[in-house]
Amino acid sequence: MFTGIITDIGEVQSLIREGDLRARIATGYDMASVDLGASIASDGVCLTVVAKGADWYEVQVSAETVSKTNLGDWAVGRRVNLERALKLGDELGGHIVSGHVDGVAEVLSVAQEGDSTRMWFRVPSALAGFIAPKGSVALNGTSLTVNEVEGAEFGINLIPHTKQVTNWGDTAPGDRINLEIDTLARYVARLRDWERHISAP
């Protein structure tokens, strides 16, 4: 589990596509404290460390994960939002994030509003009902608050600090962004569907 609070910006050093995708990511983490098999959320995707060095780690990404996320868009040199797995007793500064991406959102616009940056996104119609004003979403692993929703589109504001400690400063219209809906919204929708099922004649 994760919190959506980004703690490092990594950089893709190499990519090998052989059925699955294997990626090496440079990081500022103390890799001596990261075990093989540990989970690191990389642009919001929970990935397993399969090899490591002093300042890098490698992950193997299944074809299924590539098809459901933006990891197929990765290129050498890309900056990546990183978060290590939550430990018992850690401060929960964002919201509960699983690292299991639900779909990919498209960036529609990026505009400055005062010191902040306003962004609009479009999500797949199947996920639109899970996005609510003042609710939480994880976008490329970052816990963010939804400002407003219009159909399958929604807006968020980024404060300067968030842009400085993440890769959001690299974002442009047309980019594909990993989206994880709020866990609470997922279970509320499931409960609603179940109640409809059991009340059906």
For residue 18, the model assigns a pLDDT of: 80
For residue 107, the model assigns a pLDDT of: 98
Could you list the beta-strand ranges (E) of the chain. 8-18, 20-26, 39-42, 45-52, 56-61, 79-84, 103-113, 116-122, 136-139, 142-145, 148-150, 153-158, 176-181
* pTM (global) more than 0.85: yes
For residue 194, the model assigns a pLDDT of: 66
- Is residue 56 a contact partner of residue 25, using CB atoms and an 8 Å limit? yes
Q: What is the pLDDT of residues 129-139, one digit of tens each?
A: 899 999 999 99
The full set of domains in the chain, from first to last, is 8-84 (2.40.30.20), 103-191 (2.40.30.20)
Q: Is 163 helix (H, G, I), strand (E, B) or coil?
A: helix
For residue 131, the model assigns a pLDDT of: 93
For residue 186, the model assigns a pLDDT of: 64
The values of phi and psi at residue 193, to 5°, are -65, -40
Among 158, 154, 97, 157, which Cα is nearest to 130's?
154
Listed as ranges, residues in the chain with pLDDT below 50 are none
Among 93, 103, 31, which Cα is nearest to 65's?
103
For residue 19, the model assigns a pLDDT of: 79
